[in-house]
Each structure stands twice: as C-alpha cells, then as structure tokens.
Amino acid sequence: MSPLEPFGARLRHAMDSRGPLCVGIDPHASLLASWGLNDDIQGLETFTRTVVDALADQVAVFKPQSAFFERFGSRGIAVLEQAVADLRDAGALVVMDAKRGDIGSTMAAYAETYLRKDAPLFSDALTVSPYLGYGSLKPAVDLARESGAGLFVLALTSNPEGAEVQHAVRADGRTVAATMLAHLAEENAGAEPLGSFGAVVGATLGDLSSYDLAINGPLLAPGIGAQGATPADLPRVFGDAVRNVVPNVSRAVLKAGPSSAALRDAAVRFADEVREAVAAA
C-alpha cells in the first residue's frame, strides 16, 4: 500500500481550503443529555452520526476523543471506527485523541492501532504522550513517516497539573516542554510546506514568548470556547507561529446540536473568526 502525501502537507491544504479549524468529537454524558439523548450506545451512535453528517464535508480536521467511545466497549469502538472512515471518506483529516505513550513493543502496538494504513482505526494523526522520554515515541514516529501520518506530542497543556512536569527545568537549563519542542523541530527539519510532527499547546496559556514555537510543524491548540480562549487570543499566545495553529473547538460547536444547520453555522463562525485573527496578526 503506497504512503499518503505527508500529513503536514495535507493539513496545510485542508486548513487553507476548508478553514483553520479542528472540531472535537467528545460525546460525554452531559453533552448527550443536552441533545436529549441517553448516555448509552444508541445515544452515542446518534450523536456521532449527526456530527459527521453535518460537518464532515466542510471542516478541515476532526479530533474524536477515544475515551468517550471506549467507555461503551466494543460497540463504542465500532461507532468510532465508522466515524473515522466516514470523516476521511468526506475529505476531512482525523486526529485521534488517544494520548498514547509507552515503550518498546507496546508503543509499537499502539502505533499500529492508529497509524498503520490498513488498521480499522487508521487516523491521519495521533496524540501521544512523551513523558516516558521522547525516544519512547520512536515506533510511532517511524510508522507515521512510513504511512504519511502525523503525531501531536503533548508539550504545553492547559491543565494546571501539567506544569509540574512540563515546566520542570533540566540540568541543561531547558524546561521539559522546551526540550519536546526542540525534538519536534528536528523531526520537521526541511519539511515543506509544513512538517507532520506537531505539539499540543493550550490556547489558554497566555504569553508563550519564552518558548520557541517555530517547530515547522502544526500546533494543536485546545481551549477555545468552553475553556475560555477565543480566536482573537491566538496571535498573542502563538506569535509568529500562529499560521501553523490548529485551533480545536469542541463543546462550543457541539452544544449547537442536535440541529445540523446550527452545527454548521457554529463551525463556520469559528473558522471565520480564526481566519480573521490570523490574517490580522
């Protein structure tokens, strides 16, 4: 099976043509309830199908949160598999938010689950945790390169607890987060128009000018909408790297459902706001 065009190139094209927006698919119990759905497999299936049917042909990137499907067991995974296939068939890119991280053969097995092209859950990119050491991600890095997929590595997350690890200072005077960004810059060296190995960097973190975000790769930015960040905040947070930001909006779009038209309107509004903010930067 021939490799895809590298994820970074496909991502650049998708955001330029469909708008710079990633919509999270997070079917947690309270959101299902707000749609008038039960917190069961039927509710999960109805919710997911509605989002996919409404948005798959217009949004650039989707980020399903695997945990909200896994909690329903094999039937939930089946819903996720179908959603991934349908989103990709509609021309959207899928970032599987599974935050996998392990070592050796176990990391290789996680990589094969999401990054092998003939795998049922093959996704265009996968979120991964590097906190067993960046080198532990090598099986995922290697398979992503082979298959034309990408990775988003947790670097500067928006949860307060993350700081105790990510802001820790190494013996060389560099923070752990800065070290992860440096590794990603090395992975992306020479890639055009954009590297395939990105970082997760929270949009709620404020001024990040002390960090070098110029990794020649995408910056997946959760936190817009329900967590308090707005598209207008992006230039201030990301500076010169703002054009490579993949803003993730979940609840602020999903709460517009179950109306398909309202979901589409919300996605278009956020994409337009991001586009305007980036253009003005």
Mapped onto helix, strand or coil, the DSSP state of residue 139 is helix
**Backbone phi and psi for residue 258, each to the nearest 5 degrees, phi listed first:** -85, 5
* Two tokens, residue 270: 């956020």
Q: Residue type for 195, please?
A: G
Q: Is residue 99 annotated as a catalytic residue, yes or no?
A: yes
Mapped onto helix, strand or coil, the DSSP state of residue 194 is coil
Residue corresponding to tokens 């917190």? 39
Please say whether the beta carbons of 254 and 224 come within 8 A. no
Strand partners, 63: 24
Q: Which residues of 11-40 are buried (b: 16+ CB within 10 A; e: fewer)?
A: bbebbeebbbbbbbbbbbeebbeebebebe
Of the residues 99, 117, 138, 255, only one is catalytic, namely: 99
Q: Which residues are catalytic?
A: 99
